[in-house]
Amino acid sequence: MTKVGTENYQPPEILDGKPHSFPVDIWSLGCVFYQCLEAQSPFPQCSRKAMIDAIMSGKIRRNTYMSEESLIFAKEMLTVDPKKRLSALAVSRHPWIKKQRKEIVAIERSKLRNQL
């Protein structure tokens, strides 16, 4: 099996050379989500071996910017077992996403009222 992509965005099943499917995309989404909120990878270890060990264990930590709700969402996308990882549907229905949608709608309504 050919490995493609950046290792710190690859899930354990790819690093292990195991068969994989759609849950790998959720893992990568979790990495990007974390990086957007924390301005660093969820697995920022110094050496390649330490990074791979961290990915295989699935241990991530909250630094400065991430709320507890955001950290929970990231951890659910970065679950080591792909069968327990959030599905795309579960991501779209996650409470964190719903909260963001409500806030965006409220902002847009406020802008609309100001234009009237």
pLDDT at 46: 79
Residue 4 to residue 84: CA distance in whole angstroms: 23
Domains and CATH numbers, the chain: 7-86 (1.10.510.10)
- Burial (CB count <10 Å: 0-12, 13-18, 19+), residue 39: exposed
End-to-end CA distance of the chain: 58
Average pLDDT in the 39-57 region? 89
Average pLDDT in the 3-23 region? 85
Question: In this structure, how many other beta carbons lie within 10 angstroms of the beta carbon of residue 99?
Answer: 12
Mean pLDDT computed over every residue of the chain: 87
Of the listed ranges 4-8, 58-62, 77-81, 88-92, the least confidently predicted one is 4-8
Residue 86 near residue 27, CB atoms below 8 Å = no
Strand, coil or helix: what is 68?
A: helix
Query: 0.75 exceeded by the pTM?
Result: yes
